């Protein structure tokens, strides 16, 4: 007797046997992802980032006081290395970031200090959502819930968000900040209205051009690397894994990624690659293989002797460029839950 397979099972095999848990599909190649040089750069970078934390736990924009968005990004940089509140080499730094962000959540849920706006709110909310599960602090959940409600309440009729916490206009850059924060919050058991996500996806898709790239504002300017990275990430975090828009966006990114090694990313290198690294990690395969080593080696070369990274093009400050660089380099650790499918 010979055991035979129905044709449908072949299809199942094709779909089901891949490492679905590993978006980049790199489990077997993982040791090559973070080279010894990259590891040394990460170690020095985290040490530097810890050294510039304010006594109140904050990180600042260039020339101004503590900023919850930058603090959230710095907190994410520590979390990405496996440090969680109270645990790990930088566990105390994470806790201090958390304390600072919590302190700056307004009653209406807006996370702000000084002149910070919705960009910062998105980054800070994302950090709260990621840290909440490991802090166990009910206050964090309460503030996170409020921050999520604010995001839901400030979505404009098109489905996007912009600089100010009002439902007026929208751009893809601020929108991805909010969508990513909502995804992380949902992972933590915070109820997010489905309609908000659906509308957000609609807005992002409206921003896509025929070449697969995304424009900054729906129906306005042409495609760009940074905004396409943001658009692709928006679709991934909204769960649009199989949409044709996402695939076209990924291909556009891959075609235009040369800035990873030249420092050219339309003036926003760190911002662009913060999203590009996530998009390529989610895309996996040839995309990740072709992208990550280039951006990794570029960042290793660009690190200053004291462990810091200077801004490349526009940069809102030292803490920002360091936090972004560290998040980019540490994606292969696969520690941030939001990076999971």
Partner 1 sequence: MWWRLFGLDPELAKEASGWTFQWSALWPVWAVALAAAVLIAYAWNVYRREASPLLGVDTAALTAMRIVAVAVLFIMIFEPVVVWDIPVEKDATLLVLVDDSQSMSVADRYEGSQGAKLARVLYPDETKDWAGNNAADLPSAAAEPMKKLSRAGIVNRLFERPASNPLVSVSEMFNVRVETFSEDLKPAASGFRKAGDPLTSGVAADLTKVKVEPEGQLTRAGDLLRKAASVSKERIAGAVLITDGASNVGEDLDTTARYLRDRGIPVYPVGVGNPKALRDVALSNVAANRIVMLNDLVAVDFDLECQGYGADCVPVKVRLYWGDTPVEMIQDGRRVDTAVFDIGERKAEKDGVEVSLPTSCRIAFQAGEIGDFNYRLVAEPRPEELIALNNASTFPVRVIKNQIKVLFIDGVPRWEYQYLKNALMRDETMKVSCFLASADFDFPQEGTLPLAILPTKEEELAVYDVVIIGDVPKKLFSDQQLELFHRFVERLGGGLLMEAGPFFAPREYRGTVMEKMLPADISGPGASPQGTSAEWKPVLTPEGDSHAMTRFDANAEANRKIWDGLAGFYWHYPIDRAKPGAQVLLTHPTDRSQWGPRPLLMTQFYGSGKTAFLAVDSTWLWRGRIGDRWFAKFWGQVIRDLSQGKFIGTSKRFRVATDRSEYRAGEKVTLTARVLDKDFEPSRQGEIRARVEAEGQAPFTVKLDAVAGDPGSYRGRLTTSLPGSYKVTLDLAEPGLDDAAISHQFIVSPSHLEFVDPHLRRDDLKRLSEATGGKYMDIQDIGDLPPAIFGLKQSTLREAPDEMWNAPILFAIFCFAFFSELVYRKMRKLL
The contact set with partner 1 (CB under 8 A) reads 1-6, 9-10, 12-14, 16-17, 19-22, 24, 26-28, 30-31, 33-34, 82, 84, 86-89, 91-92, 132-134, 136, 141, 145, 187-191, 332-335, 337, 340-341
User: With respect to partner 1, which residue has the nearer C-beta, 193 or 306?
Assistant: 193
User: With respect to partner 1, which residue has the nearer C-beta, 138 or 219?
Assistant: 138
Are residues 125 and 144 in contact, defined by beta-carbon separation less than 8 angstroms?
yes
User: With respect to partner 1, which residue has the nearer C-beta, 141 or 227?
Assistant: 141
User: With respect to partner 1, which residue has the nearer C-beta, 244 or 341?
Assistant: 341
**Min CB(10)–partner 1 separation in Å:** 6
**Nearest of 341, 316, 97, 144 to residue 236 by alpha carbon:** 341
User: With respect to partner 1, which residue has the nearer C-beta, 57 or 213?
Assistant: 57
Q: Which of the 8 DSSP states describes residue 195? A: H
User: With respect to partner 1, which residue has the nearer C-beta, 32 or 56?
Assistant: 32
**Min CB(314)–partner 1 separation in Å:** 32
**Min CB(252)–partner 1 separation in Å:** 26
How far apart are alpha carbons 88 and 170 in whole angstroms?
A: 39
Are residues 310 and 52 in contact, defined by beta-carbon separation less than 8 angstroms?
no
**Min CB(134)–partner 1 separation in Å:** 6
How far apart are alpha carbons 82 and 98 in whole angstroms?
A: 15
262 to each of 45, 223, 233, 266, 268, how far by Cα in Å?
Answer: 21, 19, 22, 11, 12
How far apart are alpha carbons 53 and 41 in whole angstroms?
A: 19
**Min CB(12)–partner 1 separation in Å:** 5
User: With respect to partner 1, which residue has the nearer C-beta, 28 or 220?
Assistant: 28
**Min CB(265)–partner 1 separation in Å:** 26
Are residues 208 and 250 in contact, defined by beta-carbon separation less than 8 angstroms?
no
Are residues 111 and 104 in contact, defined by beta-carbon separation less than 8 angstroms?
yes
- As a whole number of angstroms, the longest Cα–Cα distance in the chain is 78
The pairs formed by 59-63 with CB atoms below 8 angstroms and a separation of 24 or more are: 59/97, 59/319, 59/320, 59/323, 60/317, 60/319, 61/116, 61/316, 61/317, 61/319, 61/320, 62/315, 62/316, 62/317, 62/318, 62/320, 63/317
**Min CB(288)–partner 1 separation in Å:** 12
**Min CB(243)–partner 1 separation in Å:** 20
User: With respect to partner 1, which residue has the nearer C-beta, 254 or 333?
Assistant: 333
């Amino acid at each position: 007797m010979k055991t035979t397979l129905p044709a449908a099972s072949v299809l199942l095999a094709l779909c089901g046997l891949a490492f679905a848990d590993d978006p980049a599909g790199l489990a077997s190649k993982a040791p090559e992802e973070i080279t010894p040089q990259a590891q040394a750069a990460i170690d020095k970078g985290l040490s530097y980032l810890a050294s510039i934390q304010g006594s109140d736990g904050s990180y600042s924009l260039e020339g101004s006081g503590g900023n919850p968005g930058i603090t959230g990004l710095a907190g994410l940089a520590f979390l990405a290395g496996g440090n969680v509140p109270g645990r790990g080499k930088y566990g105390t730094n994470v806790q201090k970031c958390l304390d600072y962000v919590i302190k700056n959540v307004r009653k209406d849920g807006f996370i702000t200090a000084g002149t910070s706006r919705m960009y910062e709110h998105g980054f800070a909310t994302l950090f709260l959502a990621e840290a909440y599960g490991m802090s166990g602090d009910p206050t964090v959940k309460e503030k996170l819930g409020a921050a999520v409600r604010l995001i839901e309440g400030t979505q404009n009729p098109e489905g996007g968000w912009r600089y100010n916490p009002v439902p007026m206009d929208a751009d893809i850059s601020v929108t991805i900040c909010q969508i990513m924060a909502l995804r992380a919050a949902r992972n933590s058991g915070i109820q997010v209205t489905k309609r908000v996500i659906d509308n957000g996806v609609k807005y992002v898709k409206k921003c896509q051009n025929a070449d697969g790239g995304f424009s900054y504002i729906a129906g306005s300017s042409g495609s760009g690397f940074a905004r396409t990275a943001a658009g692709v990430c928006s679709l991934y975090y909204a769960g649009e894994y199989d949409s044709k828009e996402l695939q076209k966006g990924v291909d556009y990114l891959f075609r235009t990624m040369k800035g990873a090694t030249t420092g050219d990313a339309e003036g926003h290198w760190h911002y662009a690659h913060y999203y590009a690294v996530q998009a390529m990690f989610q895309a996996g395969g040839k995309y990740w293989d072709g992208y990550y080593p280039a951006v990794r080696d570029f960042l290793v070369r660009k690190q200053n002797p004291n462990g810091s990274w200077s801004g490349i093009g526009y940069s809102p400050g030292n803490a920002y460029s360091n936090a972004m660089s560290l998040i980019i380099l540490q994606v292969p650790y696969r520690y941030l839950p939001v990076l999971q499918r």
